[in-house]
Amino acid sequence: MSGTDYKSAGVDIDAGNETVRRIKSIARSTFTPGVLSEIGSFGGLFSLHGGGWADPVLVSSADGVGTKLKVAFMAGVHDTIGHDLVNHCVNDILVQGASPLFFLDYLATGRLSPDVAERIVTGLAAACRANGCALLGGETAEMPGFYADGEYDVAGFIVGAVERVRLVDGRGLASGDVLLALPSTGLHTNGYSLARRIVFDRLGLSVDSHVEELGETVGAALLRPHRSYLRAMQPLLAAGIVKGMAHITGGGITDNLPRILPPGTAAEVRRGSWTVPPIFQWLAGAGAVPLDDQYRAFNMGVGLIVAVAAADALPAATLLRAAGEEPATIGQIVAGTPGVRYV
C-alpha cells in the first residue's frame, strides 16, 4: 500500500504557494502610505501616523456575498465578486462617516484553483484601489470535503476611521428631517436565495437566458456588482450636513432604516417616489412575491438612504448631483416608534 500525503488528501500546498505568488503583486498595487507590512506576513501592519488624524475613531465591519456566489459559479464569472465584497464593506462603515483604511479577505474552497483565486483577488484589488483602501492581507483555505468542487466562499473584513466629531450615528434625527435615496445597481448582495428560487427553479432559466423585460441575460442582471457610495458621499460628509445614513442590505428598507432611528422617531417612506428598476418588477411578477416581502428581501432600487435637515435637503441634493448622482426625496422622519411607515 502506498503512503498517504497531504496532496492525496485533497490539499495542494504547491497550488497554495502559486496562488500567493500570483496575488502578491495584485495586492501590493493597492498599498497606501500607511501600510507597513508585505503580503505573506502573519499579520498586516498599518500606521495612522502621518494621516492627519486628530482624534480618530476606528470603524470595522465584516461581511460576505451570500448566495450570489451560486450565480457566479453557474456563470463562471469570478472577477466581479471582489467588487461586491469590498463595496459592501465600504458602505457598511461609510454610514457612520468612516473612510476605509484597509481590507482583508478570507477565501475558502474545496480544491484550490490558482486561476480562480487570482480572478477573485483581482476584483478585490480593483475595488480597493477605487475606494482608496489597501488590501492588507487575507487567508486562503483549501478544505476538501467541505465545499463541492468548483465552489468557494469569500468574506471580507474592513477597518476605517473617522474623526470623533464627524461620527454619523443618527442620534440627532428629528421630525421633519428629509430622506434622500441613492440608487442601487441591482440586487447588490441581498435577496439572492429568493431570486434564484424564482429564476432557476420556478422559471427554469439559465444564466445565459435572455430576458426581454431586462434587455440582457439572467447572469448579467444578477451579477451586476454592488456599488460603493463613498465618492458620492464625501462632499456631504465634508460639509457636515449628514445626520444619518442607512445601507440598504439584507432586510431591505424595512429593516435597515430603523437601525439609525433614535427613540421617539419613525421613518415615513413614500412608495412611488423613486424608480424601481425592471429587475425587481420582473422578479416580483414572476415569483408572485408579496409587496411586504419585496421590500424586505430586495433593496428595490435604493442602495443608500441619507437623512438631512430639511434646510439642508437642497444643498445635499445639489452636492450629490455634482457627484453624478440622481438622488430621490423618498420621505421624512416623523414622531413615533422606530420603524418604517410606507405611504
Q: Are residues 156 and 186 in the same domain?
A: no
For the chain, count helices (H), then strands (E): 11, 12
**7: burial class by Cβ within 10 Å (0-12, 13-18, 19+)?**
exposed
Are 91 and 247 within 8 A, CB to CB?
A: yes
- Is 299 inside a domain boundary? yes
Whether 248 and 281 map to the same domain: the answer is: yes
- Residue 5 in any domain: the answer is no
Does 192 lie in the same domain as 154?
A: no
The DSSP secondary structure of 20-41, one letter per residue, reads: HHHHHHHHHTT--TTB-S-TTS
The amino acid at residue 29 is S
pLDDT at 257: 98
- 52 lies in a domain? yes
Q: Which of 114, 141, 166 is the last residue of a domain?
A: 166
Question: Does 173 reside within a domain?
Answer: no
Q: What is the mean pLDDT of each run of 10 residues along the chain (343 residues)?
A: 53 67 86 91 91 95 97 97 98 98 96 91 97 95 89 97 97 97 97 98 98 97 98 98 98 98 98 97 98 97 98 98 97 96 97
Give the model's pLDDT for residue 234. Answer: 98
- The full length of the chain comes to 343
CA distances from 194 to 63, 202, 290 (A): 19, 10, 12
Exposure string (b/e) for 189-201, b if CB count within 10 Å is 16 or more? bbbbebbbebbbe
In the numeric block, the cell 435597515 is attached to: 256
Claim to verify: residue 144 and residue 58 sit in the same structural domain: yes
Q: Strand order of the sheet with strand 99-109?
A: 56-64, 152-163, 99-109, 134-142
- Report the CATH number that the domain containing residue 184 is assigned in CATH: 3.90.650.10
Q: Give the per-residue pLDDT at 6.
A: 54
Same domain, 29 and 82: yes
Q: Which three cell numbers stand for residue 179?
A: 430622506
Residues 221 and 141 in one domain: no
Same domain for 152 and 209, yes or no, is no
Is 232 domain-assigned?
yes
Residues 151 and 201 in one domain: no
| pLDDT value, residue 42 | 87
Cell numbers linked to 101: 483604511
Phi first, then psi, for residue 180 (nearest 5°) are: -110, 140
Instruction: For residues 203 and 54, state if they share a domain.
Output: no
Cell of 99: 473612510
Q: Supply the pLDDT for residue 132.
A: 97
Per DSSP, what are the bridge partners of residue 155? 64, 106
How many domains are contained in the chain? 2
Q: Provide the domain limits for residue 45.
A: 13-166
Query: What CATH number is given to the structural domain containing 76?
Result: 3.30.1330.10
Cα separation, 28 vs 229, whole angstroms: 24
Assess if residue 158 is contained within a domain. yes
In a domain, 31, yes or no: yes
Ordered alpha helix ranges (H), 153-228: 192-196, 218-222
Q: 115 and 141: one domain?
A: yes
